[in-house]
Amino acid sequence: MRSLILRTMAPWLSFLILVVSVFILWQGHNTPGGGFIGGLTASLGLIFYSLAYGYREMERRLKVRWTAVMALGLGIAGVSIVFSRQWISLFVQMWGPPPLFDVGVYFVVIGMATLLMSLVMED
């Protein structure tokens, strides 16, 4: 499974997938995409890396805890809801990024999907 080709390509490809996932998140408000799809894509990128190097190695490099990522996502989403639409709309009009809320969804999905995979495949 851990062939030389895979190990050589994995960092580049997974980086590319992560960039694409951010792009999907970014333009999700106007074209197909969004936080959920972006999050799934990003976690697929991370999983792809882990298939080559192992989940331990991926987590060691990233130095994140997936439960914390989920909490961060929930926090962002919750805060953006609390501070209601006006702020986000302002944000959208000025810079054009996706609403903050979608960023929260993105992180929750990344955290959940990657956590699940790394738990099941860790040992």
Partner 1 sequence: MLSPQLGFDFVFEWTPRSIFLALFVLFIGASILPYAYEYLKKYERKFRFFSVFCLFAVSMVGILGADNLILIFVAWELTSWFSYLLIGFESERDIARRSALQALLTTMAGGIFLLMGFIIWGETSGTYSFSQLTSTGRMPSDLAFSFILIGLLTKSAQFPFHFWLPNAMAAPTPVSAYLHSATLVKAGVFVLGRMTESVALTPFWVDLLSYVGLWSFFIGAVFALRETELKRLLAYSTISAIGWILALLAMTAQSPLRNIVDLFVISHGGYKAGLFLCAGVIYYVYGVTHLQDIKGIGRQSPFLGALMSLALLSFMGLPMTTAFNAKEAGLEIFLHHESPILILLSVLGSIFLTAVGLKMFACLWAQSKPRKRIKKMSAVLVVPPMILILAPYGWFEFHWGPLMPMALSAIAFVLGAGLWKLDSRMGERFLRKNTPFMDRFYDFKLQIIYRIARDIMNVFQPQRLSLLLLFVLLGFSCLVLFAIFRWTWSDPSLPVFSDIGLTDLASVIMILAAAVSLLVWRSRLNAVLALGLSGYGLAFLFFLYGAPDLAFTQFLVETLLLILFVSVIPSFPRWERRSSPVSLARSALVSVVVGGIMSATAALVLFSVRTDDLKNFFSERSFTEAFGRNIVNVILVDFRGLDTLGEIAVIAIAGLGIWALYRFSDRKERKT
Extract the tokens encoding 55.
């989940």
Residues of span 7-66 touching partner 1 by CB under 8 A: 28-37, 40-41, 43-44, 47, 51, 66
Q: Does 81 contact partner 1 by CB under 8 A? A: yes
Extract the tokens encoding 49.
């890396």
d(CA 25, CA 37): 7
Range in contact with partner 1 (rule: CB under 8 A) among 3-11, 12-20, 56-64, 106-114: 106-114
Provide CB contacts within 8 A for 28, sequence distance 6+. 34, 35, 37, 38, 98, 102
Position among 9, 20, 74, 97 found at the interface with partner 1 (CB under 8 A): 74
H/E stretch holding 13: helix 4-27
Give the binding site for partner 1 (CB under 8 A): 28-37, 40-41, 43-44, 47, 51, 66-67, 70-71, 73-74, 77-78, 81, 85, 89, 92-93, 98-99, 101-102, 104-105, 108-109, 111-113, 115-117, 119-121
